[in-house]
Structure 1
Amino acid sequence: MSTGKRWLILSHGFNMDGRAASLTITDKIPYLLDAGIQPIVFSAITGIKDERFPHHQFLAWGPSGFRFDFRHWVANKYGRGLFYKVTTRTVSLLLTPFIAIEKLCLGYSSQWSWALPAYIHGRRLIKSGKVDVVYSTGGAWSAHLAGLWLKKSTGIELLSEIHDPLVIRKSPEDQGLAKPSNRDAAFRQKLEANLCAHADHLWWFTEGAMHYAKVRNPNLNTPENAHGFVVMPGAQPPSQSNFATEHQYAEHLNLCHFGSLAKDRSLSVILGALNTLLQKHPEARTSIRIHAYGAPLDSLTIQAIERFGFDDLVIAHGRLEKDSALGKSGRERVIEKMQQADVLILLHGLGEECAEYIPSKLYDYLWAGRPIWAITHRNPQLNEILSDRNAYLSASCNDAGILLSLEKIWRDWQKKRLNPVAGTSIGVQQAVEAILAQIELR
């Protein structure tokens, strides 16, 4: 049973505006404070320093991690103008040979070396009697590595929150048991095994992720090993000033996607369906618009735009940053755009990891209160959440089903009867309560 109230929180991306790996922990802070937890936060320099409690920011010690952190620090402090371009390119050029050596010798992802200062400073705090519990969360697995080192060297209680699966399976038949040839993947597999053996409490965000972790680590949930469970992270509701008024149907059906795009999570699947729909109903061209917020368009989407001649139908807005003139954070601007959408697009992906993760923006979508069109892949838990909330639901590899959903959305929009979101949103307080309850159980 955990009795200590002084928690050292290890989070590489803490207080990074709009980043999922940051929001998952920063949204919990008010509820942890209400529960009497006294946090001390270690993070990279990539986010905004929190003044409510001790928050120490450290540079990664490796060259690739230093480059990553430096870019974000300059962007936060000076914006992404000329100074950003000159300084970051200069630093990248100077670090290039050292990054090459690092990759050749280790082959790990860039943020691994942040674990080094986090461990050294954390051990000093623990040895001086200022910490009762270490809570690693990520995101970047360097936080878990530092937490594991602290657990092994001091015996302190360790809580570890796994955002995304540490082991990426390749097919439904693959259990993730074989040793990967990629050195970063092999290290993550070993890290998962060590966490399951040595952490006191360990949780995942989906039932699928915990299931496969248990297959690989049958010692999980035995008396002498980690206590594992599932917690849905949820999201904070918009502030009262950000709650939208009643939605107004306008000239266009605005389908809006928020977040990163890639070849396995691409708007091209929707553009292919749209092309077929326009062949059947040419008049729909004047109505439908697809908006992408938060990231550049992926290569498959760009190719589809060119192939179908959809330059006028797809609008790429890029990342919504903090607007000082309006006094709004990037997250607040994103929430506003979500609430203005006719339909929110949720692209799950195509990889086998989809069986083990739920896109974090789903929780913000539910608070936005707009109709959701989700294209999902092999995740019964996600499908159940969406079905219970009246979403338009398609399977990722079913082109006919995607076309059917798009046509239904278009017809419902014409009738001004898009599916309203049903059921309850999923907040953060329930996640904190679940974590504290599970910790107290053991």
Structure 2
Amino acid sequence: MVYRAGYAQCKKRHPELGDKGKVILPGAEPPIVSAEYVRDPNCIHIGHFGSLSNVRTIKGFAEAFLKFKQDSPDSAKVFKIECYGGSIDSHAKLFINENKLNDQFIEVGRLEYDHKKKISGREQIQIKMQQMDYLLIIHGHTADCAEYIPSKFYDYLWARRPIIAITHNNKQFNTLLNKYNSFIANSNELDSIVQALNKIYLIWKKGLNKKIQLTPIGTVDATNSIINYVNYEIHRSN
């Protein structure tokens, strides 16, 4: 099961498939722990969860943030971009260090089992997601972005916090993000990221960054879609 653009490419590579196959959104399991969001009156906490690399780099976001900081220094100083799950990629880290953005970009890294609280790293991550003002997705900038949706998107939906997505050439992904009231910026357009940061600041300042109420996409939805599709094919072949 692949996304629409990926499905189209797959059919080109394998014309023998004919009209077989179906696009399924895999979804994610709901979190095993819950946490309450509490607005920090002094900081905007933006969380990035998952791995970064020189292909899926946070550098473009950092470049846009520098421009935002130069234009609106007072607004920029309340931002904290917290990176969980891995290191900030080397290209971004060099840029952040050179431009003295270390106070805004914080490398938290991997969370291990907490012996005092008796909760796993995974549980801590789920709690952190639910406590963020905004959740950041870095889609990438390569051609294959047109064919995939990051799996982290489905985890973010269960956290029910507003999403900031830096996307690349994927209409289906953008449509889904719009459905869940996300902030979308183009990875090739620095100004679109700056505009998103301005909007985020103004909404946060007014205390309007609310919980996302729309139902997340779960694995149960994917399972039911597969069962319905199989039943349909069986019925059609009889």
Whether 2:26 is the aligned partner of 1:233: answer yes
What SS does the corresponding residue of 1:229 show, helix, strand or coil? coil
For 1:215, the equivalent position in structure 2 comes to: 12
* In the alignment, structure 1 residue 263 sits paired with structure 2 residue 54: yes
Shift of 1:379: 0.7
User: In 1, Cα distance between the equivalents of 2:97 and 2:36?
Assistant: 37
The code of the aligned residue for 1:301 comes to A
Check if 1:349 corresponds to 2:146.
Answer: no
**TM-score under structure 2 length normalisation:** 0.91
Question: Within 1, Cα distance between the matches of 2:77 and 2:193?
Answer: 20
Look up the SS of the partner of 1:251 in the other structure. Answer: coil
Residues 267 and 301 of structure 1 are in contact (CA less than 8 Å); yes or no, is this contact kept in structure 2? yes
State whether residues 391 and 419 of structure 1, in contact with CA within 8 Å, keep that contact through their aligned partners in structure 2.
Answer: no
Equivalent residue number for residue 125 of structure 2: 334
Q: How far apart, CA to CA, are the structure 2 residues paired with 1:423 and 1:362?
A: 14
Assess, with a 3 A threshold, how the Cα gap between structure 1 residues 322 and 432 changes in structure 2: closer, same or farther.
farther
Distance 1:419-1:408 versus aligned 2 partners, 3 A rule: farther
Report the Cα distance in structure 2 between the residues aligned to 1:271 and 1:232, rounded to whole angstroms. Answer: 30
Answer whether contact 1:347 1:376 (CA < 8 A) is retained: yes
TM-score (norm 1): 0.51
Identify which of 184, 190, 202 aligns with 1:393.
Answer: 184
Counterparts in 2 of 1:351 and 1:422: CA distance versus 1, 3 Å: farther
Alignment of 1:30-69 (within 5 A): none
Return the offset for 1:409: 0.7
8 Å CA contact 1:278–1:284 kept in 2: the answer is yes
Structure 2 counterpart of 1:184: none
Q: Which has the larger radius of gyration?
A: 1
Q: Distance in 2 between matches of 1:436 and 1:244?
A: 33
Matches within 5 A, 1:32-431: 203-204=1-2, 206-221=3-18, 227-239=20-32, 242-418=33-209, 420-431=211-222
**C-alpha separation between the residues in 2 aligned to 1:380 and 1:247?**
33
In 2, distance between residues paired with 1:427 and 1:229? 17
CA contact (8 A) 2:47 2:82 kept: yes
3-state DSSP class of the match of 1:249?
coil
* Residues 280 and 406 of structure 1, relative CA distance in 2, 3 Å threshold: same
Code of the residue aligned with 1:439 in structure 2: it is: V
* Aligned mates of 2:39, 2:132 — CA distance in 1: 10
CA offsets 1:80-124 (integer angstroms, 9 cap, x no match): xxxxxxxxxxxxxxxxxxxxxxxxxxxxxxxxxxxxxxxxxxxxx
Amino acid at match of 2:26: P
Give the RMSD, CA atoms, in angstroms. Answer: 1.7
What is the rounded CA distance, in whole Å, between the counterparts of 2:199 and 2:50 in structure 1? 24
Amino acid at match of 2:12: V
Kept in 1, the 8 Å contact 2:165–2:182? The answer is yes
Paired with 1:313 and 1:305, the residues of 2 have a C-alpha distance of 9
- CA offset at residue 438 of structure 1? 2.3
Partners of 2:16 and 2:121 lie apart in 1 by 42
1:250, CA displacement in angstroms?
3.1
Tell me how many residue pairs correspond in the alignment: 233
- Cα separation, 2, equivalents of 1:322 and 1:209: 37
Gaps of 5+ in 1: 1-202
